[in-house]
């Protein structure tokens, strides 16, 4: 539609210019012609009046002159007459005679002994005044002025412009309607049909040789059909190659290989993912609806898997335009540009969100599982809402699988700890896994949770429980041993409870490794210029605005560097991206305010007119923009105080196709066990952070390449597709 409006607007502009120039030319011609006629008529009239007035003037018959003037000034267009002596004084004149404002106009006429004319505006009326010298014995003895109403010339010009304007609007309406209909119903309709046909072919709904094109697009459709057939053959070859790689343990995991693995292992059994976070959020922006991908490890990890495997993702619809974009069942196909799986949204009331999400999930479980020195808040009403919403998720899933046999269900994260047992109770044939994306604390620490037994029993309803690290698995087994009556098999790391067995295994989550084309593309520096960053060195921090991310500690380490090494002032900038998160929780609002205040304090201490040591962006950036920033940063600073994995660290390594840059990583992030090439620090120590920053900024290119190559190999070898395959493989082996 936008293209249609642009074409229509272009034609309207062209027609407007043509009509405008035509009207201008016509108005100029009309004005010249009418003015010429008026001047000629005025000269003839002045000459004839002079013959009648000169005898009376020469005999000084003033009263006779006045009677002659009064008699002639009765014509509609003859607006005034006047006779002046050789000194320019008025001898006789009609009432309110208009005269030019030009100084000595009458005297100049007599001096030059030539007729002169001038237009004289008075209010809304325009007059044309001519002055003719009067003679006696061939001497100039005075002057005669004749004033005529010339308003009709202006009226004629206005009439021309008005008629042209009416004609212009008529032509605009005619041309706009014709072009809109032509483009909308001929060109746009044909192109839309071709695009729909291409989408159907791309999704595999129709064969490539069925590509349709109307009229003038038919030759183009034929060529596209040939290209599409070639691409399909290439895709088939890639799938076949991926299938052949399934048994080769050393071959890289890709989306195609995972897709073939799913086909071979599941044999058309559907996959269902349950999480609080949805992969696409739709929001109202002015008069349009826009979608964004929320920040967070769950979406980063699961989205590539769902794109490769398809299936259904059940999540809480949190966007203010989510209902508008979903159907009556809360479903829609995603991703928006190229749908590959189904997103089903669950609608929660503000009370349910406040209790289940803000309350128990983020003010109780989150600080309980993270050693970040924030006291958990346990409230009975929050626990009630948590159980209620977990039941709603389980009920929604059971409704979706009511006609399916042996569905595979992947429950994500601490928001839905009770769901596995609820599903298993109604559908024992379902294979259920839950992956806990955050740390699992020690048994002693978890012991302070009043609902600890119900949470453990809910999780043990799953066939498989996954954590990021073996240490978290150990902590969970210890917690179960202290709280739940069960038999623990340490050899196979499983828990027997009644007639059900649950396995506990580590699956360090990862990301999708970028393609070769993206790795070799030059990064775009324009975004740094838009942020006012011109420093020689760039240090990057990318986090949700969460107190476990250690952003305040990061700022202190950066401040320590500038204090200890003044040579870096003006040459290095810390760009901190802080994605808003859980802003309805007071602790998170307070933390965001503290981070902003600390950035301002440090900028006030060291900053100059041309340089800010910290550029703090409290907003979300799309993944495409973040990848550009990763490739521009000399160092990436990850200072989590306690983190399950921290996929930003892996994203930074994956984005560095040039094998440059340095990752500074907290020892308390799960990623520190995988990324051996990073500079490992204790984020609580400003001295360690400062020393690591200085080491990164002075590190040789050779050392950077050596370290980055190790990290990239780790991420490439154990990417999100392998993570998913191993999780599903482990679940299927439990049959």
Read off the pTM: 0.70
CATH 3.40.50.2000 range(s) for the chain read 271-346+392-506, 516-718
pLDDT category, 216, cuts 50, 70, 90? low
Alpha-carbon distance of 582 to 596, in angstroms, equals: 17
pLDDT category, 464, cuts 50, 70, 90? very high
Alpha-carbon distance of 310 to 200, in angstroms, equals: 16
Between strands 494-497 and 500-506, the pairing is: antiparallel
pLDDT category, 533, cuts 50, 70, 90? very high
pLDDT tens-digit readout, 75-133: 555 778 888 887 778 788 877 778 887 777 888 888 888 888 888 888 788 888 888 88
Q: Can you list the pairs that 421-428 forms with residues at least 24 positions away whose Cβ atoms lie under 8 Å? A: 421/457, 421/458, 421/459, 421/460, 421/461, 421/462, 422/390, 422/391, 422/394, 422/458, 422/461, 423/394, 423/397, 423/398, 423/461, 424/461, 424/462, 424/500, 425/461, 426/394, 426/398, 427/398, 427/401
The confidence score (pLDDT) of residue 2 equals 63
**CATH 3.40.50.1580 holds for 2-155:** no
Alpha-carbon distance of 187 to 194, in angstroms, equals: 11
Domain 516-718, what architecture? 3-Layer(aba) Sandwich (3.40)
pLDDT tens-digit readout, 561-599: 999 999 999 999 999 999 999 888 999 999 999 999 999
The confidence score (pLDDT) of residue 230 equals 55
pLDDT tens-digit readout, 403-462: 999 999 999 999 999 999 999 999 999 999 999 999 999 999 999 999 999 999 999 999
Q: ∠ at Cα 453 (452, 454), nearest 5°? A: 95
Torsion sign across C-alpha atoms 389, 395, 401, 406: positive
For the chain, what is the mean pLDDT?
86
Of residues 78 and 516, the one with the higher pLDDT is 78
The H or E element spanning position 513 is: none
Residues facing residue 341 across a β-bridge: 334
The confidence score (pLDDT) of residue 106 equals 82
Give the mean pLDDT of 517-528.
72
Closest of 467, 511, 525 to residue 647, by C-alpha: 511
Say which residues have a Cβ less than 8 Å from residue 398's Cβ, sequence separation at least 6: 423, 426, 427
Q: Residue 497: helix, strand or coil by DSSP?
A: strand
Choose the weakest-confidence range: 4-18, 158-172, 418-432, 625-639.
Answer: 4-18
Task: Kindly tell me if the per-residue pLDDT of 210 is higher than 60.
Answer: no
Q: Provide, rounded to the nearest whole percent, the portion of the chain with pLDDT above 90.
A: 53
pLDDT tens-digit readout, 261-311: 888 888 878 899 999 999 999 999 888 888 988 877 788 888 888 888 889
The confidence score (pLDDT) of residue 558 equals 98
**CATH 3.50.30.50 holds for 271-346+392-506:** no
Q: Under a CB-based contact definition with an 8 Å cutoff, are residues 662 and 679 in contact?
A: yes
User: Residues in the chain, how many?
Assistant: 735
The confidence score (pLDDT) of residue 159 equals 84
The confidence score (pLDDT) of residue 231 equals 57
Alpha-carbon distance of 81 to 94, in angstroms, equals: 5
pLDDT tens-digit readout, 359-371: 999 999 999 999 8
Between strands 312-316 and 271-274, the pairing is: parallel
pLDDT tens-digit readout, 618-649: 999 988 899 999 999 999 999 999 999 999 99
Alpha-carbon distance of 537 to 632, in angstroms, equals: 9
Alpha-carbon distance of 569 to 561, in angstroms, equals: 9
Torsion sign across C-alpha atoms 283, 285, 288, 293: negative
CATH 3.30.450.20 range(s) for the chain read 2-155
Of residues 45 and 331, the one with the higher pLDDT is 331
The confidence score (pLDDT) of residue 233 equals 52
Give the mean pLDDT of 512-533.
77
Alpha-carbon distance of 428 to 569, in angstroms, equals: 63
Alpha-carbon distance of 21 to 164, in angstroms, equals: 10
Alpha-carbon distance of 521 to 660, in angstroms, equals: 14
pLDDT category, 167, cuts 50, 70, 90? confident
Choose the weakest-confidence range: 1-15, 53-67, 310-324, 687-701.
Answer: 1-15
Give the mean pLDDT of 361-383.
94
């Amino acid at each position: 539609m936008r293209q249609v409006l642009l074409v229509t607007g272009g034609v309207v502009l062209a027609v407007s210019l043509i009509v405008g120039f035509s009207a201008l030319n016509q108005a100029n011609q009309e004005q010249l012609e009418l003015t010429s006629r008026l001047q000629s008529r005025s000269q003839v009239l002045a000459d004839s009046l002079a013959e009648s007035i000169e005898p009376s003037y020469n005999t000084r018959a003033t009263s006779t002159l006045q009677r002659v003037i009064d008699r002639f000034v009765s014509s509609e267009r003859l607006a005034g007459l006047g006779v002046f002596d050789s000194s320019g004084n008025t001898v006789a004149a009609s009432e309110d005679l208009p005269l030019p404002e030009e100084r000595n106009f009458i005297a100049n006429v007599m001096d030059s002994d030539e007729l002169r004319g001038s237009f004289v505006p008075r209010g809304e009326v325009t007059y044309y005044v001519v002055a003719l010298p009067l003679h006696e014995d061939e001497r100039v003895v005075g002057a005669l002025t004749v004033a005529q109403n010339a308003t009709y010339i202006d009226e004629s010009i206005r009439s021309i412009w008005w008629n042209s304007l009416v004609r212009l609007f008529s032509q605009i309406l005619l041309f706009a309607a014709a072009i809109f209909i032509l483009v909308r119903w001929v060109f746009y309709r044909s192109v839309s049909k071709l695009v729909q046909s291409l989408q159907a072919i791309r999704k595999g709904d129709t064969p490539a040789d069925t590509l349709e094109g109307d009229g003038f697009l038919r030759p183009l459709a034929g060529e596209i059909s040939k290209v599409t057939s070639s691409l399909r053959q290439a895709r088939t070859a890639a799938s076949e190659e991926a299938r052949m790689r399934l048994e080769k343990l050393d071959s890289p995991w890709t989306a195609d290989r995972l897709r073939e693995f799913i086909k071979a292992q599941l044999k058309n059994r559907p996959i269902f993912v349950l999480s609080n976070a949805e992969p696409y959020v739709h929001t109202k922006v002015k008069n349009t609806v826009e979608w964004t991908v929320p920040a967070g490890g769950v979406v980063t990890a699961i989205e590539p898997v769902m794109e490769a495997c398809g299936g259904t993702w059940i999540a809480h619809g949190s966007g203010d335009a989510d209902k508008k974009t979903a159907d009556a069942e809360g479903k829609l196909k995603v991703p928006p540009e190229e749908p590959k799986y189904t997103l089903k949204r669950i609608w929660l009331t503000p009370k349910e969100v406040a209790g289940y999400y803000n309350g128990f999930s983020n003010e109780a479980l989150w600080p309980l599982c993270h050693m970040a020195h924030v006291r958990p808040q346990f409230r009975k009403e929050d626990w009630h809402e948590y159980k209620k919403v977990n039941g709603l998720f389980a009920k929604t899933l059971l409704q979706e699988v009511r006609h399916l046999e042996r569905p595979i269900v992947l429950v994500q994260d601490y928001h839905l700890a009770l769901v596995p047992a609820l599903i298993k109770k109604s559908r024992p044939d379902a294979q259920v896994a839950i992956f806990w994306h955050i740390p699992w604390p020690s048994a002693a620490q978890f012991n302070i949770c009043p609902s600890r037994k119900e949470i453990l029993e809910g999780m043990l309803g799953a066939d498989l429980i996954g954590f990021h690290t073996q240490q978290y698995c150990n902590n969970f087994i210890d917690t179960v041993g202290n709280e739940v009556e069960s038999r623990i098999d340490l050899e196979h790391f499983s828990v027997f409870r009644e007639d059900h067995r649950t396995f506990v295994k580590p699956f360090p989550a990862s990301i999708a490794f970028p393609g070769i084309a993206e790795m070799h593309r030059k990064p775009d520096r324009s975004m740094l210029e838009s942020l006012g960053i011109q420093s020689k060195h760039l240090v990057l921090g990318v986090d949700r605005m969460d107190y476990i991310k250690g952003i305040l500690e990061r700022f202190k380490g950066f401040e320590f560097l500038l204090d200890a090494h003044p040579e870096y002032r003006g040459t290095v900038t810390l760009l901190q991206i802080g994605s808003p998160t859980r802003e309805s929780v007071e602790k998170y609002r307070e933390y965001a305010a503290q981070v902003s205040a600390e950035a301002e304090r440090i900028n006030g201490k060291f900053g100059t007119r041309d340089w800010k040591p910290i550029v703090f962006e409290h907003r979300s950036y799309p993944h495409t923009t973040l990848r550009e920033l990763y490739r521009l940063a000399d160092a990436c600073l990850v200072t989590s105080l306690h983190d399950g994995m921290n996929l930003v660290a892996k994203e930074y390594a994956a984005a560095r196709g040039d094998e440059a840059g340095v990752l500074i990583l907290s020892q308390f992030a799960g990623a520190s066990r995988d990324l051996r090439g990073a500079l490992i620090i204790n984020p609580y120590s400003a001295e360690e952070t400062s020393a690591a920053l200085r080491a990164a900024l002075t590190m040789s290119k050779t050392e950077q390449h050596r370290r980055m190559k190790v990290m990239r190999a780790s991420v490439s070898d154990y990417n999100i597709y392998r993570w998913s395959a191993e999780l599903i493989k482990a679940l299927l082996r439990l049959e």
